[in-house]
Amino acid sequence: MNVEPIDVTQSARERFERMHHEIRNRICLLDYAPGTRLSEEALAAEFGTSRTPLRRVLVRLEGEGLVQSVHGVGTFVTDVEIEELAQTYRLRLELAELTGKLDPVAPDAALWEHFRDLADRSHALVADPDPRRFAQLNVDFFLALLCLTANEPLREVCERLYFQTTRIWLKSVFASTIDLIDEVDVFCREVDDILRALRIGDLHAAALIQRAHISMSFERMRKGPDKS
């Protein structure tokens, strides 16, 4: 069963969401590195539409600060300088802690299952590191953690800032393969620690652990990878 073609739904809204999610994911996973030019025509062709609906997606992404369009030149994936990145990280620290204080909700059965799967994937990644799978796992774990607060505006803000910063951090990680091993190891420990806190039911502790890891990952990035 389930033999139907993927793109059954062709309602305007669904298609918009699909394109938006897909392109955002590519930017976040560094398929489109910062500075990359996105061709409206090529993307439109890929998604089987004209430029008009695609441009709508790009306008949204521009509002989210992920791309920037320049008349007559092109649409580029944004990059950020270290100073603004530092500001965003400082804000993310506080917001991460807030997820444990504002409308926290314990995981339900489905979310537990998801967390177990994420833990398995992280352990598998330690045995066999891979940049892209690491990036995807990082995104998935973050989104899972976001389910721990019922505060919808907070979730939106955290998600927005996450997508703005993580790709920059990933860029640093990917720059030197040697660090990837360390980062995967640290990440695996973060997952285990947070799950341990969740099992006790201490959501605030889980949030504090996440906050600590965000802080440390930024410090590691700021100090820079070994240029050996």
What is the contact surface with DNA in residues (CB under 7 A)?
A: 10-12, 15-16, 37-41, 49-53, 55-56, 69-75
The one of a copy of itself, DNA, none whose footprint includes residue 75, by CB under 5 to 8 A per kind, is DNA
Q: Residue 67 carries which DSSP code?
A: E
The one of a copy of itself, DNA, none whose footprint includes residue 63, by CB under 5 to 8 A per kind, is a copy of itself
CB of 221 to a copy of itself, least distance (A): 17
Cα distances (Å, whole numbers) of residue 158 to 4, 45, 96, 174, 194: 35, 32, 8, 23, 18
In the list 8, 128, 153, 228, the residue contacting a copy of itself (rule: CB under 8 A) is 153
* Segment interacting with a copy of itself, rule: CB under 8 A, options 52-60, 131-139, 181-189, 217-225: 52-60
Please report, as a single letter, which amino acid is at residue 46.
Answer: E
Residue 59 near a copy of itself by CB under 8 A: yes
Among 135, 111, 143, CA closest to 187: 135
Q: Chain-centre distance of CA 179, in angstroms?
A: 19
User: Checking phi first, is residue 60 left (phi over 0); if not, alpha (psi -120 to 50) or beta?
Assistant: alpha
* Segment interacting with a copy of itself, rule: CB under 8 A, options 54-62, 118-126, 177-185, 219-227: 54-62
Site string for a copy of itself, 92-131 (x = CB under 8 A): --x---x---xx----------------------------
Per-residue H/E/C for 98-136: HHCCCCECCCCHHHHHHHHHHHHHHHHHHHCCCHHHHHH
CB of 64 to a copy of itself, least distance (A): 7
Please answer whether residues 106 and 116 qualify as being in contact, where contact means their C-beta atoms are separated by less than 8 angstroms: no
